[in-house]
């Protein structure tokens, strides 16, 4: 039976929910009906602490009135403007504000509506750039195993999550190769910050992929500086630097997917800033406007933009875009969110909380079922021992148990992810990890 009027008063049949076990959910729905600060409110009136900033996207906490007021003001003034051949002030202001937070040289912003669209847009930009500079044969795109770049066909193709790819494998982009992922439990177990082992894994780009395909055929390499959705995989010391050097020497664009790491998660505006490695393009979404209105985008080096735009014949230079690119409400929300981040010094706050947060995460070492813990910035991944023959089942049960104990917990397979809002107090973070401890004691 898939109708629960006694429980919810809602007809649950018609929404096909994303990345959800629909049958399981509709048999026992978990409905959120309110949110404020670092808490949700469930349909049965319980307080649910948010241990993942929504889906990595609410760094300033929920129900920020400053952002709401900016959206309302924008709505009253201009609710929608077509982005093709016309513009509006909020989009230009948001682009300038975002560019000001990026590494030097990355100052041209193309707006999308999500991280998935941002990833595909960055790949198109790479192809267009090489075509404009007279190397149209550079069409190979390189991703990384255990990478996540959204669910559009381009992002899935360069991504490395088997469950996302297997149903669509026959239709993925053909000109793609993958770097190995950077995680080794044997060499990196219980890493706090960047692991010492693994910089050499970047050399695979040169020794295997370039050797096989020739650098003159490769357009771009796209990686998450810290892989979030596949378990908080932190780059080994020197790894990103080696990737940057190899790409530079061979004329390959390097793209950082910072949909998760951007806007404070790692204690800086970008992971590029925190790690001191500047790519040629950065994708963003989620935290850019505190998750208030769907929004994403790509920031590129000025010379990449100029090569495509200035070397094109008169007319449209880049045949790409979305109806809602730079939507007035989304860009107004972005400007208000960036004001909040600056006013409350949230990027620095994340850096200040990092030590306490990581102490609490690694204090779970030795708890039953825990196989490994990784942490960087205000993000931690906790690997649980899989149930024999049923991978992912224990992680799913952990999320259900946490909800019953009053916490929204995100899992990927048998990995638990903790990434609190940057406005969380120490007591909130302590509550999150104490709940995880209770979950571990409860699980069969």
d(CA 157, CA 176): 7
- List strands edge to edge, sheet with 47-50: 32-36, 39-42, 47-50, 407-408
In the chain the domains, ranked by start, together with CATH numbers, are: 31-60+345-442 (3.90.1150.10), 66-343 (3.40.640.10)
Nearest to 140 by CA among 67, 221, 71: 221
* Strands 218-223 and 140-144, bridge-based pairing: parallel
Coil, helix or strand for 8?
coil
Given a contact cutoff of 8 angstroms between Cβ atoms, the answer to whether 278 and 243 are in contact is no
Task: Enumerate residue ranges in the chain where pLDDT < 70.
Answer: 1-8
Backbone angles phi and psi of 116, in degrees to 5 = -60, -45
pTM: 0.97
pLDDT tens per residue, range 340-357? 999 999 999 999 999 999
Given a contact cutoff of 8 angstroms between Cβ atoms, the answer to whether 414 and 341 are in contact is no
**What DSSP character marks residue 197?**
S
DSSP string, 220-282: EEEE-SSBTTTT-BPPPTTHHHHHHHHHHHHT-EEEEE-TTTTTTTTSSS-HHHHHT---SEE
Per-residue pLDDT, 4: 40
Coil, helix or strand for 128?
helix
pLDDT tens per residue, range 303-329? 999 999 998 899 999 999 999 999 999
What is the helix (H) or strand (E) element at residue 341, kind and residue range? Answer: helix 328-343
pLDDT above 90 covers a percentage of the chain that reads 96
Per-residue pLDDT, 1: 31
Report the half-sphere exposure of 429 (CA within 13 A, side-chain side). 23
DSSP string, 382-433: EEEPPBTTBTTHHHHHHHHHHHHTTEE-EEETTEEEE---TT--HHHHHHHH
- List strands edge to edge, sheet with 379-384: 370-376, 379-384, 415-418, 410-412
Per-residue pLDDT, 14: 96
Per-residue pLDDT, 7: 60
Per-residue pLDDT, 361: 98
Question: For residue 265, what are the contacts with CB-CB under 8 A and spacing of at least 6?
Answer: 56, 59, 271, 287, 350, 377, 378, 379, 419, 422
Per-residue pLDDT, 347: 98
pLDDT tens per residue, range 255-309? 999 999 999 999 999 999 999 999 999 999 999 999 999 999 999 999 999 999 9
Q: Give the residue carrying structure tokens 């629909």.
A: 22
Helical spans, DSSP H, in 344-385:
346-362
d(CA 318, CA 316): 6
* Strands 39-42 and 32-36, bridge-based pairing: antiparallel
């Amino acid at each position: 039976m898939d109708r629960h009027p006694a429980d919810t008063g809602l007809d649950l049949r018609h929404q096909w929910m994303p990345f959800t076990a629909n049958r399981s959910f509709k048999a026992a729905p978990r409905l959120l009906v309110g949110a404020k600060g670092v808490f949700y409110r469930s349909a049965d009136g319980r307080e649910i602490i948010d241990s993942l900033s929504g889906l990595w996207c609410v760094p300033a906490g929920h129900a920020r009135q400053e952002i709401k007021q900016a959206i309302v003001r924008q709505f009253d003034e201009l609710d929608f403007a077509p982005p093709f051949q016309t513009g509006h002030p909020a989009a230009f202001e948001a682009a300038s504000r975002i560019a000001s937070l990026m590494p030097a040289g990355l100052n041209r912003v193309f707006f999308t509506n999500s991280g998935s669209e941002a990833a595909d847009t960055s790949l198109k930009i790479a192809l267009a750039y090489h075509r404009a500079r007279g190397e149209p044969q550079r069409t190979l795109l390189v991703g990384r195993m255990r990478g996540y770049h959204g669910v559009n066909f381009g992002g899935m193709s360069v991504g490395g999550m088997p469950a996302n790819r297997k149903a669509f494998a026959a239709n993925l982009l053909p000109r793609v190769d993958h770097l190995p992922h950077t995680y080794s439990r044997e060499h990196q177990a219980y890493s706090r910050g960047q692991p010492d082992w693994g910089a050499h894994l970047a050399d695979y780009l040169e020794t295997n992929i370039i050797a096989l395909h020739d650098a003159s055929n490769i357009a771009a390499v796209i990686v998450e500086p810290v892989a979030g959705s596949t378990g908080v995989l932190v780059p080994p010391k020197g790894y990103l630097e080696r990737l940057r050097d190899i790409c530079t020497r061979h004329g390959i664009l390097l793209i950082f997917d910072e949909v998760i790491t951007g806007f404070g998660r790692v204690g800086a505006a970008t992971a590029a800033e925190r790690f001191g490695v500047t790519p040629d393009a950065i994708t963003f979404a989620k935290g850019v406007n505190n998750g208030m209105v769907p929004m994403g985008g790509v920031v590129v080096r000025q010379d990449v933009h100029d090569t495509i735009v200035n070397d094109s014949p008169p007319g449209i230079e880049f045949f790409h875009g979305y109806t809602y690119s730079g939507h007035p409400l989304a860009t107004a929300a972005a400007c208000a969110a960036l004001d909040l981040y600056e006013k409350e010094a949230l990027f620095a706050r994340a850096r200040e909380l990092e030590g306490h947060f990581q102490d609490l995460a690694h204090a779970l070492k030795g708890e039953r079922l825990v196989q490994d813990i990784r942490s960087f910035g205000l993000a931690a991944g906790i690997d649980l021992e899989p149930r024999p023959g049923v991978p992912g089942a224990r992680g799913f049960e952990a999320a259900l148990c946490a909800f019953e104990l009053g916490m929204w917990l995100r899992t990927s397979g048998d990995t638990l992810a903790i990434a609190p809002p940057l406005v969380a107090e120490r007591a909130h973070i302590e509550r999150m990890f104490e709940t995880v401890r209770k979950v571990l004691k409860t699980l069969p």
